[in-house]
Chains A and B, each alone.
Chain A
Amino acid sequence: MSEHSYVPGTAAEKWLDDRLPVARFAKEHLMDFPTPKNLNYWWTFGAILVMCLAVQIVTGIILAMHYTPNVAMAFDSVEHIRRDVNGGRIIQATHAVGASMFFLALYVHIFRNLFFGSYKAPREILYIIGVIIFILTMATAFMGYVLPWGQMSFWGATVITNIFSAIPVVGESVLQLLRGGFAVGNPTLNRFFSLHYLLPFVIAALVALHIWALHVPGNNNPIGVDVKSTRDTVPFHPYYTMKDLFAMVLFMIPFAWFIFFAPDILGHPDNYIQANSQVTPAHIVPEWYLLPFYTILRAIDFNVLFINSQLGGVIAMALSMIALLVVPWLDTAKVRSGLFRPVFKWFYLLFLINFIGLTYLGAQPAEGIYVVLAKVCTAYYFIHFFVVLPVLSRIEKPLPLPTSISENVLGKAHA
């Protein structure tokens, strides 16, 4: 095991190691960390997400140097960045496109986790931290979208903050507290700017906890069988550092495509119109990554007992997040990986399609067939979590599992 422990090479390294063992920590956790050798490319999205967060923080700090958080100047200051600041158009486009790429990677990461059962014991805390990161990232992205102070910024802020008015009794007070006024205005823009700057660092801290929680049990893997011996693993460096780096560079190709050749295609034209509290755009559409939850919010257009439709929508949306948080206790099947769960596999696919459907419907006007479909998709979202997963855990007969990772790998190689 000598190759897995840190031995200070020089007196200076020894001196440092006795006081603050950062080099030891880096060697143990970033280089030698034993990682299952059968991780596929879906597992590279963790590293890609770290890169996305870094890109957003670096470009965001730069944009804040040139941006003015004031309702009279915000819109023009963003244009000033695009037009006058050296390289400003690229930096601004990277930040805006970066938000979409971040969520793309985030959704892949989440759906990888849901398929391979990475949320199951002993990784529940790891998973829950991940869901919290997801929710905080949505909040951060939403507040960031308000900053350019275009029409979608303003009306998005109005609609989303109005969600809080659904809270019984204190809703109206909470709403004014959040906005710092009776409507979205300068105080709102200022506090969103402040929080948009703060939250990424909170997210970064949670990412550190997420990785800590990962390094206690170690990685799950595509077959979901625990690591049995050192034969099942390789050191993180250079095996996964290089694989992750390769995946990151591949990921940067569509990223760069959007930045340089279609920087506005992921946004909405209406956000190039300065905010106007007198005129609402014909169709208010949040950014695509918020659409699935937006659809759930809109789908409840009927009163349930004493709960009115507005509060109902908010409850449904909150419940859709809570469903994610409690997945480890809804799906109690012993087998982790979807590869060995013949029935789950199909329901997972249905859930994935349903989720894409929710995304699509969020962008459509709330009329005609779309209203019905939104209700169907919302219903299935909840049925999947609260009915399908618990029932499958009890009745499904999983396929036989390989005894270890290396057995599975060898079997595949000689097949």
Chain B
Amino acid sequence: MAEQAQHSTNRRDFIFVATGAVGAVGAAAVVWPLINQLNPDASTLALASIEFDLSAIPEGQSVTITWRGLPVFVRHRTQAEIDEARAVQIADLKDPQTDEERTKPDHAQWLIMVANCTHLGCVPLGQSGDFDGWFCPCHGSHYDTSGRIRQGPAPTNLVVPPYEFISDTLVQIG
């Protein structure tokens, strides 16, 4: 049988190869948009980057805003909180990171973090826990005044989103 097949007119002819190749290209070109439609659409992408005015938040207060569908803490820290965060020995940390790395120069009073516990995604409670920062009630993770993990099951610090200061009081997140 197999020999017979080899001897038959199964010659790889240019036209057949060209047709197959063009057909394959066409199939790929059709499949891609059918997959790409799953990606975030234009209305979602338009909100990927937001601007937020900080001037309304007094010292010692935080607000929770929404960015890309996630809750984000924006905290106006007191000098005491900043000092406490900067006094910590880096070596003591589970996920070593300095407070400077987690804030912007000249804007140390502003701490901006995604408000989902890095353990399993709950929103931690503010100004509670053993380190004066945040405490996640779900599984007992404690974060300090820089949002770093100090105790409990969470593996890493609260995530700092990409952001920059457009002016002293206006920040662009994302």
Contact = CB atoms under 8 A, between A and B. Distances in A.
B43 A80 contact: yes
Nearest to A246: B19
Contact of A84 (B33, B34, B43): B43
Given A80-B43, A83-B42, A91 B1 contact: no
B142 to A, nearest CB: 41
A87 interface: yes
B1 A62 contact: no
A84 B37 contact: no
Interface in B1-51: 1-2, 33-34, 36-39, 41-44
Contacts of A90: 33
Contacts of A7: 1
A88 B41 contact: yes
B41 A84 contact: yes
Interface in A46-101: 58, 62, 65-66, 80, 83-88, 90-91
B1 A88 contact: no
Interface of B is mostly: helix
Most buried by A among B34, B37, B42: B37
A91 B41 contact: no
Contacts of B39: 86
B169 to A, nearest CB: 32
Interface residues of A, number: 16
Contact of B42 (A9, A66, A84): A84
Nearest to B4: A3
B33 A58 contact: no
A6 to B, nearest CB: 11
Interface in B68-95: none
A2 interface: yes
Contact of A85 (B1, B2, B37): B37
Contacts of A88: 37, 41
Contacts of A2: 1
A87 B37 contact: yes
Nearest to A245: B23
Contact of A62 (B2, B34, B41, B43): B34
A58 B2 CA distance: 38
Contacts of B44: 84
Nearest to B39: A86
A129 B12 CA distance: 41
Contact of A58 (B1, B34, B38, B41): B34
Contacts of A87: 33, 36-37
A86 B34 contact: no
Nearest to B36: A86
A85 B39 CA distance: 8
Interface in B113-169: none
Interface in A79-128: 80, 83-88, 90-91
Interface string A1-25: 0100001010000000000000000
A23 to B, nearest CB: 15
A58 B43 CA distance: 24
B37 A91 contact: yes
Nearest to B2: A9
A13 to B, nearest CB: 13
A171 B164 CA distance: 67
Contacts of B43: 80, 84
B22 to A, nearest CB: 10
A92 B58 CA distance: 49
Contacts of B36: 86-87
A340 B44 CA distance: 64
A76 B139 CA distance: 42
A91 B33 contact: yes
Contacts of B34: 58, 62, 91
Contacts of A84: 41-44
A91 B39 CA distance: 14
Contacts of B38: 65
Contacts of A58: 34
A90 B37 CA distance: 11
A87 B31 CA distance: 12
Nearest to A59: B34
A66 B38 CA distance: 9
Contacts of A83: 42
B33 to A, nearest CB: 4
Contacts of B1: 2, 7
A58 B30 CA distance: 11
Given A83-B42, A86-B41, A87-B37, 14 more contacts: A2-B1, A7-B1, A58-B34, A62-B34, A65-B38, A80-B41, A80-B43, A84-B42, A84-B43, A85-B37, A85-B42, A86-B33, A91-B33, A91-B37
Ranked nearest first, the 3 interchain pairs of A and B with the lowest CB-CB distance are A87-B33, A84-B42, A84-B41
Interface of B: 1-2, 33-34, 36-39, 41-44
19 contacts: A58-B34, A62-B34, A62-B37, A66-B41, A80-B41, A83-B42, A84-B41, A84-B42, A85-B37, A85-B42, A86-B36, A86-B39, A86-B41, A87-B33, A87-B36, A87-B37, A88-B37, A90-B33, A91-B34
